[in-house]
Homo-oligomer: A and B are copies of this chain.
């Protein structure tokens, strides 16, 4: 009576337990320096158990990446509804993106890590899942743009603008890594928003 449910719950707990430990280690030491044996030891589980829940090391980390991407997608979608005008909405998206990269810095790092690393290292299946999430994010931006730009822009144009918008912000956030050296003395948020202004000015017909 409910014992099956309990079992199910326990199984999900274990999964979380593993992911939590893996995440912690990943954030502390990087992907290559985190071994399955370490994860097992830290999670107070046997190695075998890890392989009961994840096919291999790669899929364990892919699960972490997806966690991050899902979180990002959801946040962006939610934030976008809060703004009134298209410009406001885009600003919300931009800031949500930055906030994510700060609050969930390590998630952002790992996402970037997977996104940037040479394809040899990661299999196609992984890439495709990333793409899916990227698509979801682009869609949100496109929906906003549709209402903010001239009516004769076709879907193609809109997608392009969405890509320009997102990639610029992404590039900016990438450069944040340099704020203690190259960008010393700058307030990054200001910089980021001026970048946002710069793009929006060209993208939206205001």
Contacts and interface: CB of A to CB of B under 8 A. Distances in A.
Q: Is the interface of A mostly helix, strand, loop or mixed?
A: helix
Pairs of residues from A and B, 4 with the lowest C-beta to C-beta distance, nearest first? A171-B171, A167-B171, A168-B168, A30-B121
Contacts of A202: 197-199, 201-202
Interface of A: 27-33, 106, 109-110, 112-113, 115-121, 127-128, 131, 134-135, 138, 159-160, 163-164, 166-172, 174-175, 177-178, 181-183, 186, 191, 194-195, 197-199, 201-203
Contacts of A112: 116
Contacts of A115: 116, 174, 177
Contact of A175 (B28, B109, B167, B201): B167
Given A115-B174, A198-B164, A203-B198, A181 B109 contact: no
A109 B113 contact: no
9 contacts: A30-B118, A110-B118, A113-B117, A131-B178, A163-B183, A163-B195, A167-B168, A168-B195, A199-B202
